[in-house]
Structure 1
Amino acid sequence: MRKKLAILLAICLLFVCGSMVVSASENTTYTYAISVKGDWIRTQDAYMPGNVYLRQDGLSVPEDIFIVGKTMYLADTGNARILIYDMETETTRELGKGELTQPRGLYVTDDGSIYVADCAGGAVVIFDKDGNVKQRIGRPDSYLFSELSEYKPRNVVVTGEGNIFVCSEGAYEGLLQFDSKGEFQGYFAANRKYLTLLETIEDMLLSDSLKQDLLMRRPRAIQNLDINDRDLVYTVTQTDEVTYAWAAAASKQENCLKQHNLAGVNILSRDTFMTDEWNFIDVAAGQYGNAFALTYTGLIYEYDSEGNLIFSFGGSATSAERSGVFTYATAIETDSDGFIYVLDREKGYVQVFYPTDYAVATHRAIHDLESGNYESSERTWSEVLKLNGSARIAHMGYGKTLFHQQRFEEALDEFRIARSRSYYSDTFWELRDQWLSKNVVYFLIVIFALVMYVIVSSIIKKRRPAPAVVRVKPVPTTRGKRFLHDITYFRYMLRHPIDGYYYLKRRQAGSVGAATFLYFILFIVFAADTLFRGFIFGFELTESTPVLFMAISFVVICGLFIIGNYMVASINEGEGSLRNIYTMLPYALSPYLVMTPFIVASTYILTQNEAFLVSLAWTIAVVWSGALVFIGLTETHNYSFGDTVKNVLLTLFFIVIAIIAAAVMYLLWVQVITFIQDVALEVAYRVQQA
């Protein structure tokens, strides 16, 4: 009896486990998010594929979809109709037969009016809720609309006040804006055209007439659009007929997803580059201030109201017929329940995704945060962090709730984890303001004491007898004092660079040992400037750079400059020796050596609001050092201004050629080593076979 019960229990457990495995494999794609390090990480499933609609309804190359309640509207482009599907009764009806030529986009207003973008028909056709044509908005007859401009409407949206925005195929001037009566008002939200270096040079050299005849510089046309409940327009942009290789090689100049205010200005992450795709084909506004962008390969990106990526999921169906992936995705839409509807043009059906508990919790946390319910948002973000503690969006949201509750020290930690320098700066500003408020009296006393010290020192200095004018201090004779004198000689160089180089060249000041010591100090300062700035002003690209690599790079660059300059000067009648150049360079870089420690220290007490102070000080240090290097080469080699310019350019050319040659030699050496290893393995294999 016990044996039978054990067998029965094992069968039940096997059945349950088997059911669990099937349930876990329902999703056919993974969900990804951005980690705190900026990398893609796999996270819990945010959306699961659900129903598939209209698989058997004969759709032909459908282009757009719109959801109102439980009613689905589709632009059935190949059949030249609008298909209306009731998801509750599973019944369909159509409109536009005989009225439409190539419907590619549609929008339904609150009163049931249906706006259809008829691309080949060259019009926006407006139907009432019963399917009767109310109005046609044809090609604008206005001086604002050029005769050369194309009018091929591909999608349309309508504001609450009845203003109409039309996305026209190839309209690089932007969206076409009409009033509620269909009168053309002008263009809206055009993309910018960024000039390349070659185009900038052409602008300087060519006349206006030549530029009009030869140059066809146009910004990218907007691909698609949508509008949210606040009448803010979203647009997506891509470049037609491009390849993945082009997209990888092209330098990004602006975001492909934008949100425009009433003036047409992009307000979505306009100062930073978003995590987006070059092949976005449609966009849908969500109900929590979020937005969904779709690529034609089936990837779905969800963003919050600030342009931060929340989730990415979906994909392309390469072989097997699977739900949740697409052959050619063409449109995306959301409903009031947070469900996502994606239209597959090739397969001719609509795939639905429903949010999981993880996505619902994330949306609730975002909604509570933007609604001002910070305590509820904090609790929800805590739950989300327990599920995925590496997601950047979760740490950002949690930090914002703490910030709004004035728990600045905790918020500072979260923003640092999320690597959000802007929010970290704002939070640090608040903490610094609190500290100054508590210690303002002591702060004023210190300032008063410093001012008094300066005044008293200046009075005492004026009463002292003027010292005899000397061009340089006497050089100490003892070794230790001479070394100290040579190290501190840069102070004289800052005030009297020409005289300073004169004494360096004649070895009356400075030495190889002191110069070497200054090179070491320069490297420490350079490493501090690169690696140890305050978080707000740190360099992301060099934060993880090994110190050894930086040391080697510093030595190589300095060595190439010294050797290259000496070689160039040797063939151009320069008087400076290798020792002169080696000794001159660290003294010439003394402004950078002196100012950088103060600049690095200031990055721990300043915020992004005072960033111009850091940039200005650093620029002064670099430019001043560059000027001293130029003067140093002039004095060392006894050159004229033109000869020095020639010397510097040839030296820089030598450095570039040397680096390229070293890279080529490295690659050749790697190939030789690989060849030797392959030959050795082949020989060993043949010996074993023999």
Structure 2
Amino acid sequence: MFRFVRAFALQLSLLGAFAALWPGRVAASGLPYETYYRDGFGQTVKTQAAYLPAGLIKLDFNGPQDLFVDEKDHIYVADTGNNRIVHLDRDGTFVREIVVPESPLSRPSGVFVDGNGDIYVADTGNARIVRLNAEGRLVKAFGRPASAYIPDSFKYEPVRVVVDKRGFLFVTSLGAYQGLVQLDPDGGFVGFFGPNKAPFTLFDAFKRLVYTREMYAREPKKRPPAVTSADIDRDGFIYTVTREATRDQIKRLNMAGVDQLPGKGDFHHLQPVRSYGEILHPRSDSPSPQLVDLTVDDDGNVTVVDAVHDVVSQYDRNGNLLFFWGTETLTAAAKTGVVRAPAAIDQNSAGDLLILDGTNNLIHVLRRSEFGSLVHRANALTQAGRYEESEPLWEEVHRLNERYTPALIGLAKAAYKKERFDRAQELFHRAGVVGGYSESFWQNRLRWFQRHFGLAMNGLAGAALLAFAIRKVRRRRRTGRTGAAERTPAAIRPGNAGSGVSVAAQLKHAFTVLRHPADGFYAIRHEGKAGAAGSLVLFVLAMAAFAFIQAKTAFVFNPWQRLGVELPPLLVQFAGIWIGWVVSNYLTGSLFRGEGRFRDVLYGSAYALFPLVLIGVPKTVLSHALTLNEAALFRFLDTVMMVWIALLFIRLVQGVHNYAFSEAVAVTAASLLALAVLVAMLFILLGLGLELVQFLKSIYQEVIVR
């Protein structure tokens, strides 16, 4: 018995030692929510908990809408339903209630306390901002500002307020699409601050182009989404969050009202249009996040709450995601750490998050875990440019969670700072950071040129001499010819379709098509310069070139290939669209009295793809020697290739069907429209076929059961 007890005690001690070594994992076990990270490619990774439940603050609230933590960590709650401000100490113990008896509050929805202890209340029911001193006595009331720059239709309903060090007020008014209302310390109107942009779609552009002035005037006006809440950091930047927006919901505004977040994130090359607010398990029918409030810590990290999915998301000062957490499990009673219907969020000096639950009338307190603190310390050093100091911290984070991408990014930046560019390039590639990878590759390329400059110059000189010699030989051969080419027999009669032309000659004709497309396609139709064998070879080469482009373009210009490229579906799509074009163009040409036969369109469409081989393959090879600094060259080659292919297809329609150029353009457009109709019909038939199969399957199962 004693031996069994001793063995059991030894097991407990081992478990305790393991818990000490792995605090993040052990502490996170059994939590009512899960914590995740999502990289720039949309891949979700489960992480150790960044915050742990630290308690609930329950008082006699009635629909509270806002809370604020002052410099002493005292908590102020806008108890909207009870028409008061509740003051709590740092432990959540009740201190006092503020009701302003000389001018009672009505449905206060926002509260802010400045460095002097003055309390600002967004008194929504009275349509004013109230300034109180530290004792809660009325100092000044700011009603609707009087200004000719405020439209008469503007409805002033303050719901949030922040105040900068100068005493300027930034008021969030309910439904104000013009932005925050900026007031000077005396309540004078300064202007609207940080408005959002109105959504504008391609269909809106079409309506603007096609509609008359009268028709467009009858259209419902599109307004920018209104700012929902705001916060201010220690450097004076104003942060806004917008509930109804689907992009750029979070903004970091300087004093000029210019957003500082776009283009700052590590994944901005993958996500040029940034969307904030994470969903635990997104689906195609998932509603967009509805971000209602945010808080900013001393390092510029932004934490936001989502009122629809009940998810808390945290980003660094450049908009890079750090963590998000929540749960999809519904609970009948309030559970510590499980946020339902969040109304507001703030944090104290220790980094604890306080989340106000406006439905359950309580405050959740979340304390940063050891893993979360480690990430915050490492990221703060990285954001400050102290990469070498952050390296051991990021190494520890990476040891605890190898799939946590910010650790790879931090280590890559540290390696770059130490001029270990090979390792930096590898780590940036693993993390999927295009900008860092390009800069590291640029440094590695520079070093290679410095080491092999002589060899590179000799190689270029040798290539130039070889090209010069080849040109000389060709010129001599041309001068020795007596014009035998002009005395060759007449062209093959129409209708032979290349039966007397070798495959080599058919392939050589592809270069004639490139140089003289109208004559080249005319020769395919009327002189039999193309055949089935040559066209098949060209089409196979085009498909191979397309596959090579998709799979082998450098990471800098095609970062998504890092996730792997499934070539079979892409090749099936490529072949399907090409065949659909051939069919639709032949049918459209027949309707518009075109002279081309089906095989002429088929052969010519294979020749029109030749720029994929001629430009696409060298462009793809060249991409491995370029950085983002030379992206213009890569984009230029890509544009030339696509424009060239488009022109060749137009010339194909012109030459094969014997149209004028303007007619060829019109028929090409009609063929593309017919192709779209064919694709739509194919999807409809496919859907009906699947429904029929399911129907027959259900009947079969019903018969078997009976």
TM-score normalized by structure 1?
Answer: 0.88
Match of 1:281 in 2: 292
1:46 maps to 2:50: yes
Shift in CA distance, 610/17, structure 1 to aligned 2, threshold 3 Å: closer
Shift in CA distance, 290/22, structure 1 to aligned 2, threshold 3 Å: closer
Alpha-carbon distance between aligned partners in 1 of 2:520 and 2:596, rounded to the nearest angstrom: 15
1:179 maps to 2:214: no
1:600 maps to 2:620: yes
Letter in 2 for 1:202: K
CA contact (8 A) 1:274 1:308 kept: no
Letter in 2 for 1:314: G
Q: Deviations over 1:59-89 (max 9, x none)?
A: 1111111112331111111122211111348
Shift in CA distance, 17/604, structure 1 to aligned 2, threshold 3 Å: closer
SS at match of 1:222: coil
Match of 1:379 in 2: 392
Distance apart, 1:641 and its partner CA: 3.6
Distance apart, 1:16 and its partner CA: 11
Shift in CA distance, 543/391, structure 1 to aligned 2, threshold 3 Å: closer
Alpha-carbon distance between aligned partners in 2 of 1:311 and 1:176, rounded to the nearest angstrom: 32
Match of 1:245 in 2: none
SS at match of 2:556: helix
Match of 2:571 in 1: 551
Alpha-carbon distance between aligned partners in 2 of 1:433 and 1:221, rounded to the nearest angstrom: 49
Letter in 2 for 1:488: K
Alpha-carbon distance between aligned partners in 2 of 1:570 and 1:365, rounded to the nearest angstrom: 68
Distance apart, 1:22 and its partner CA: 11
Shift in CA distance, 157/39, structure 1 to aligned 2, threshold 3 Å: same
Alpha-carbon distance between aligned partners in 2 of 1:569 and 1:210, rounded to the nearest angstrom: 37
Shift in CA distance, 342/474, structure 1 to aligned 2, threshold 3 Å: farther
1:101 maps to 2:106: yes
Shift in CA distance, 491/79, structure 1 to aligned 2, threshold 3 Å: same
Q: CA RMSD in A?
A: 3.4
Match of 1:75 in 2: 78
Shift in CA distance, 63/208, structure 1 to aligned 2, threshold 3 Å: same
TM-score normalized by structure 2?
Answer: 0.86
Match of 2:305 in 1: 294
Match of 1:389 in 2: 402
CA contact (8 A) 1:36 1:391 kept: no
Shift in CA distance, 181/433, structure 1 to aligned 2, threshold 3 Å: farther
Distance apart, 1:658 and its partner CA: 2.4
Which is worse superposed, 517-526 or 298-307? Answer: 298-307
CA contact (8 A) 1:36 1:390 kept: no
Letter in 1 for 2:124: C
CA contact (8 A) 1:80 1:101 kept: yes
Alpha-carbon distance between aligned partners in 1 of 2:92 and 2:346, rounded to the nearest angstrom: 20
SS at match of 1:70: coil
Distance apart, 1:224 and its partner CA: 0.7
1:670 maps to 2:690: yes
Shift in CA distance, 211/132, structure 1 to aligned 2, threshold 3 Å: farther
Shift in CA distance, 424/348, structure 1 to aligned 2, threshold 3 Å: same
Q: How does 1:258-273 map to 2 (within 5 A)?
A: 258-270=251-263, 271-273=272-274
1:194 maps to 2:206: no
Letter in 1 for 2:97: E
SS at match of 2:151: coil
Within the candidate set 606, 631, 635, 1:615 is matched to 635
Match of 1:255 in 2: 248
Match of 1:58 in 2: 60
Distance apart, 1:4 and its partner CA: 6.2
Distance apart, 1:310 and its partner CA: 0.9
SS at match of 1:499: helix
Alpha-carbon distance between aligned partners in 1 of 2:522 and 2:292, rounded to the nearest angstrom: 67
Q: How does 1:276-675 map to 2 (within 5 A)?
A: 276=277, 278-297=289-308, 298-315=310-327, 317-440=330-453, 442-443=455-456, 482-538=502-558, 540=560, 544-675=564-695
Match of 1:244 in 2: none
Unmatched runs of 5 consecutive residues or more in structure 2: 20-24, 264-271, 279-288, 493-497
Which is worse superposed, 358-367 or 174-183? Answer: 174-183
Which is worse superposed, 146-155 or 506-515? Answer: 506-515
Letter in 2 for 1:171: A
Match of 2:164 in 1: 159
Q: How does 1:77-156 map to 2 (within 5 A)?
A: 77-88=80-91, 90-98=93-101, 99=103, 100-156=105-161
Identity of aligned residues (%): 27
Which is worse superposed, 420-429 or 277-286? Answer: 420-429
Alpha-carbon distance between aligned partners in 2 of 1:472 and 1:629, rounded to the nearest angstrom: 30
Shift in CA distance, 601/472, structure 1 to aligned 2, threshold 3 Å: farther
Which is worse superposed, 95-104 or 323-332? Answer: 95-104
Alpha-carbon distance between aligned partners in 2 of 1:431 and 1:15, rounded to the nearest angstrom: 51
Match of 1:246 in 2: none
SS at match of 1:423: helix
CA contact (8 A) 2:586 2:601 kept: yes
Shift in CA distance, 651/469, structure 1 to aligned 2, threshold 3 Å: farther
Alpha-carbon distance between aligned partners in 2 of 1:94 and 1:223, rounded to the nearest angstrom: 26
Letter in 2 for 1:516: L
SS at match of 2:126: coil
SS at match of 1:97: coil
Match of 1:6 in 2: 4
Distance apart, 1:257 and its partner CA: 1.6
Alpha-carbon distance between aligned partners in 1 of 2:486 and 2:87, rounded to the nearest angstrom: 92
Shift in CA distance, 349/513, structure 1 to aligned 2, threshold 3 Å: same
Unmatched runs of 5 consecutive residues or more in structure 1: 241-251
Letter in 1 for 2:236: D
Distance apart, 1:185 and its partner CA: 1.2
Letter in 2 for 1:600: T
Distance apart, 1:586 and its partner CA: 2.1
Alpha-carbon distance between aligned partners in 2 of 1:101 and 1:685, rounded to the nearest angstrom: 67
Alpha-carbon distance between aligned partners in 1 of 2:12 and 2:487, rounded to the nearest angstrom: 92
SS at match of 1:351: strand
SS at match of 1:32: strand
CA contact (8 A) 1:536 1:608 kept: yes
CA contact (8 A) 1:338 1:355 kept: yes
